[in-house]
Amino acid sequence: MQEIEALLDYLKRHKLYLTTAESCTAGMVVALLAKHPGSGECLDSGHVVYSPAAKKRLLGVSQHTLDNFNLTSEEVARAMAKGALDGSPANVAVATTGVAGPEPQGEIPAGTLCFAWAFRLADGSIQLYSSTEHFAGDRSRILDEAACFALLRLPERHAQLLATG
């Protein structure tokens, strides 16, 4: 996939070293990168954290965040991305959480996913971006599209960071 190769070039050119925190995509983001030679130069780690307990234990997502926001929320995605960065030498993280389907989860329709992108700045602070997106199709298609979305929006979020300087 040429888009992923272009993303890898972007990561290398901007000295971005990635970690991921994936819930519903279950490692698909990392797998997309790993298919391409040279991905090891810009990939540190990938966390698959399906359960709330794993989100807390491995990424430090607080019980308060879990209690006050749905698992499919930008707040949880942001906490996951920050937690992945906190436990890694990486300087960028991507997180995914959501409902891939085929059934809705409560009032959240299938195909609803929340994403977060976190960047560690030179001063050690972290800048977070997030969005909620809706994908159509069967579970497999939703997960494929979500994994691509998470990765391919990374340069756009990085450009936002550079623009705000």
pLDDT band, very low/low/confident/very high, at 164 (cuts 50, 70, 90): confident
Domains of the chain, CATH where assigned: 2-164 (3.90.950.20)
**Residue 165 clears pLDDT 90, i.e. is over it:** no
pLDDT band, very low/low/confident/very high, at 1 (cuts 50, 70, 90): confident
Query: Other CB atoms closer than 10 Å to residue 70's CB: what's the count?
Result: 17
CA distance 111 to 100: 5
95-108 confidence digits (pLDDT tens):
999 999 999 999 99
107-116 confidence digits (pLDDT tens):
999 999 999 9
Three-state secondary structure call for residue 57: helix
The three-point CA angle 57-63-64 to 5° equals 150
